[in-house]
Structure 1
Amino acid sequence: MISRSSFLLKTFCLRGYRFTSQLAYERYGDPLEVIQLQNQSTENDTLKANEVRVGIRAAPINPADINQIQGVYPVKPTLPAIGGNEGFGIVEEIGSNVTSLSVGDHVIPAASGFGTWRTQAISNENSFYKIDKRIPMKYAATLQVNPCTAYRMLKDFVDLKEGDVVVQNGANSAVGRYVIQIGKILGFQTINVVRKRENIDELKQELESLGAKKVYTEEEFLKNSRTIKSRLALNCVGGRNSLGIASTLQHDGIMVTYGGMSKQPVQGATGPFIFKDIIFRGFWMSAWYEKSAKNQELKEKRDQMYSEIADWIHDKKLVKPKVVLRQPEEYKDALKDAMETAGIKQLFVFDDNKN
């Protein structure tokens, strides 16, 4: 049985009984083979004094979710488990001793690994984090990973000033797009590297419309990299691509690696390490959230981060994420597309509100 501390999916009635739906797996493996749509009765569920009941409205499929189901992700929930690490819900009921949440509050998971591909959650109030009600569903359901990863990397590693240059590869990724947009808001210039493709001119125009200072293909970047002087480089590719963006770093510059799409080792030239004292760092958003739960200063930074992002969304400074809305019953098609189609996120929706 799935533990009460896990997320559950949306409640519905069948022959007078209450049930929840959930996309669960009992063993690690190919998501198309191990994920199953299950219905469970909730007629005997009662809240403990410190628990809340949350109706999950939407939850995306992220690469980390796929890796987790495959059993190759660092965060491994106890089996059987429910898929999904990110999502958005609304508090529907609270226990007698709950103080941090109220009925009607909008919430997201407080940490990774709970499982969000479900219609309902019953868990301790500390399992959820309250967010601004102004944030629309598509933003709220995808708030926790991509925009926050971009935000933290721009804020935490280098004391960037207005006009400073940030160079990144994988600029067409979800995180890359937020780096461009948040960088523009904060007054930074982003130099962006993408793979060559048929619609490259269209992609360049799209990223420039988000605020990119310049967009290069990998080949174009190699020809122009000597003229670029950056203070921060963001790497999600690895291999020779990482070597290229690291070569633009000025003295004391930092390259942050948060992904490895090429599956090749991160590369750096010896000279800049010695003569420019450059630094290579890694970043994992899940680890940052875990630390923030135990550190008051980081907790305050988390509050500020969510508040600023909510304001930017409300002021239409951040473009709505590209998503395909999916019903839970479409999970096989959604999983297949998530593993094969880059650039557009699959979003399970458990509510009639499609905003």
Structure 2
Amino acid sequence: MPISLSSTPMFSRIISQSSSRAFSTSSALLNRCIVYTQNGDPAQVLSAITYPKLPSPPPNTVNLKFLLSPINPADINTIEGVYPSRPKPTSNIATSGLGSQDQPVFVGGNEGLAQVVDVGEGVQGLENGDWVVMDQPQLGTWSTSRNVPFHGVIKLPASGLTEAHGATMTVNPTTAYNMLDGFVKLQEGDWVVQNGANSAVGQLVIQIAKERGLNTINFVRSRDDMGPLVTHLESLGATKVLTYDDLNDRSLRSKIKEWTGGQDIRLALNCVGGDPTTAMAKLLGQDSHLVSYGAMSKKPLSLPTSLHIFKNLTSHGFWQTNWSRTHSRTEKEELITKLAEMMKEGKLKAPEHTIITIGPQVSDEEATEKVRSIFAEMAEGKFRKKVLLKLEEPAACA
């Protein structure tokens, strides 16, 4: 990994000098991105840098203007250095200083919505004005503009989507859809059980299941005022909403048997781990499947051997990035199109979100401070909604 410069006086001088030059040599709009030079706490290692306007795109590439980009939990893990998918160092956005050959950086952001603003020779199926989402991981979406290979993006339908829909298209909705579709051949009327039901993926599971005519039993953490959360999840299509405390109720199995009419539950989705998942797995029937896509409790998964021996339970892990690596571009385009249609028809809601904008008159130093404060507040749990980042091109002074 490159040596960290983010906390040194030299780093501050480079940023200041770079910003000063950028804001005094041209009246054109510039570009900005959020970067880091080594892994660590995002509230300490992230910085904003300004770089020149993109040149015309080389053959088989497109220039993109990013409209909105989420900050996902996986992004934080990536910056910390504990996530399997990692970005490649970038060294071509500056001729000197950060982002140059001498001082490469990692540009943050894995998911985002962008608009095509220029196409290179040989590009097929894309033209200026098209909305696109990322088809490759870690392309650096926390940017105002980037140049990427045209096969690294997927075109969205021409109209009917909000920016929030587009920006959050490729991680959570695809995860929810593929877990419901890829492990058990579910029929209308079947039942699915999940924990973390109020997470972004959990809420999408509820909505997609409703659209398919599936019933869901949804577990969440207990809280003082459960009413609003239960009402919200039921409005999305949840059949039943329970708490992890309910898993300790000995009468729960008989209640579930009554709800399901004695039908076996053959699919469970887990993003928590630990004891709640062990108890949830015991609700499954014969030849069932437990799919784990997260471990929010940071506790290991422990399953009774009897479930494997007597009920033929199969336990899987799911990672959307791996699904994308092992499926064709046509399959990915079909999935994105299907999800986009559901969003346009109002069957999938955009996640509750907060948009944080870094405007054109903000200096790199001010932008750095703002970005770091966002991550500090996220670590303290101050954001209850998904955070979407909107970077606007910094305006250069004449």
Give yes or no for TM over 0.5: yes
Aligned pair partner of 1:226 in 250, 253, 256: 253
1:241 deviation in Å? 0.9
Equivalences for 1:161-180 in 2 at 5 Å? 161-180=187-206
Aligned counterpart, 1:5: none
- Is residue 46 from structure 1 mapped to residue 56 from structure 2 by the alignment? yes
- Is residue 84 from structure 1 mapped to residue 84 from structure 2 by the alignment? no
Q: Deviations over 1:259-292 (max 9, x none)?
A: 0011111121111210110100000011111222
Paired residues, number:
336
2:116 maps to amino acid: V
- Is residue 320 from structure 1 mapped to residue 324 from structure 2 by the alignment? no
Taking CA–CA contacts closer than 8 Å with sequence separation of 6 or more, which of the two structures ends up with the larger relative contact order? 2
- Is residue 34 from structure 1 mapped to residue 49 from structure 2 by the alignment? no
Q: Deviations over 1:13-40 (max 9, x none)?
A: 8633452100000111110111001001
1:204 deviation in Å? 1.1
2:291 match: secondary structure: strand
Aligned counterpart, 1:267: 302
- For residues 212 and 149 of structure 1, what CA distance do their matches in structure 2 show? 18
Unaligned ranges ≥5, structure 2 = 1-21, 90-104, 257-263, 359-366, 394-398
Q: Deviations over 1:44-68 (max 9, x none)?
A: x232111111110000100000010
Aligned counterpart, 2:94: none
Moved more, 228-237 or 12-21: 12-21
- For residues 132 and 219 of structure 1, what CA distance do their matches in structure 2 show? 43
> Identity percentage over the alignment?
37
- For residues 106 and 46 of structure 1, what CA distance do their matches in structure 2 show? 19
Aligned counterpart, 1:6: none
- For residues 132 and 28 of structure 1, what CA distance do their matches in structure 2 show? 37
Aligned counterpart, 2:315: 280
Q: Which one has the largest radius of gyration? A: 2
Unaligned ranges ≥5, structure 1 = 1-11
- Is the CA contact (8 Å cut-off) linking 1:191 and 1:213 kept in structure 2? yes
Aligned pair partner of 2:232 in 198, 206, 226: 206
- For residues 48 and 308 of structure 1, what CA distance do their matches in structure 2 show? 32
Aligned counterpart, 1:69: 79
1:59 maps to amino acid: S
Moved more, 78-87 or 12-21: 12-21
Aligned counterpart, 1:331: 371
1:225 deviation in Å? 4.0
1:136 maps to amino acid: T
Q: Deviations over 1:86-111 (max 9, x none)?
A: 00001010012111311111101112
- For residues 307 and 221 of structure 1, what CA distance do their matches in structure 2 show? 38
TM-score, structure 2 length as denominator? 0.81
Aligned counterpart, 1:239: 274
Moved more, 337-346 or 275-284: 337-346
Aligned counterpart, 2:144: 119
TM-score, structure 1 length as denominator? 0.90
2:40 maps to amino acid: G
Aligned counterpart, 1:19: 30
Aligned counterpart, 1:148: 174
Q: Over aligned residue pairs, what C-alpha RMSD do you find?
A: 1.9
- For residues 71 and 351 of structure 1, what CA distance do their matches in structure 2 show? 27
